[in-house]
Amino acid sequence: MVKWVPISLILVLVLGCENSFSARMTADYFPLKKGNKWVYDVQGDNNYQIEIEVTGIENIQGDSMFSVNTGGEIKRFQRKSGKANRIRELFTTYEGDKVSFGIIYEPYLLLPPIEGENWEKEFRFHSVHNGDTIEKNFLVKIDSVKNTTIILNSENYKNVYSLRRTIIEDNDSLIQYEWFAPNIGLIKKEILSDSVFWELASFAFDE
């Protein structure tokens, strides 16, 4: 029995420690499950709270498609092995008419994130409407992926990945910085050009 004492002590010590690398390796940085909710404090021209909730899931050809209600707007995401895509319809308004260019799968996150990586994808479409050719350009670029620790509302979040997301749609561009915490997801977002700041206020996951 005595010989098991040191082994047991070492095991207890090791089990009691959370290891950063293995935590990052095993965590889900984009946990989508029906019923999961996040509430964010949004600061900008107006201060308000926005609630995000996963409202639906369907399985299409082996991939999970999630409907996410973001303050009343339904966004759709596809989860595949090693990545998450945002499903968008690209359209434009021309002479008062909506001209659709179809559905795109925007590469939203590579999972699990790896510090230093970057990715981008460009979509180019054109359509003939009432005899006129209309073009649509959409580019998404992610870079500056870093592993960091962040304090929000006195809460210390470790093993967080931050990134910069650039979206260029026709002549409009949007740059935002995002922070994702392990097994929580998005905890902070900054859109510096609009001086809009999101911070996680609370979250509740459906067990």
Name the residues that contact other proteins, by CB under 8 A. 3, 7, 10-11, 14-15, 17-28, 80-83, 110-112, 114-117, 147
CB of 198 to other proteins, least distance (A): 25
Apex 190 CA angle, 188 and 192, nearest 5: 170
Q: Which is nearer to other proteins, 20 or 149 (CB)?
A: 20
CB atoms within 10 A of CB 169: 16
Which residue, 199, 104, 97, 96, is CA-closest to 150? 199
Q: Which is nearer to other proteins, 13 or 151 (CB)?
A: 13
Strand order in the sheet with 37-43: 97-110, 83-94, 73-80, 63-70, 48-60, 37-43, 196-204, 185-191, 172-181, 155-169, 132-152, 119-129
Query: Nearest approach, Cβ of 189 to other proteins (angstroms)?
Result: 22
Distance separating alpha carbons of residues 15 and 79, to the nearest angstrom: 31
DSSP 114: -
Find tokens 């609009």 and name the residue.
194
What do you get for the CA distance between the two ends of the chain, in Å? 40
Q: Is the peptide bond before 112 cis (omega within 30 degrees of 0)?
A: yes
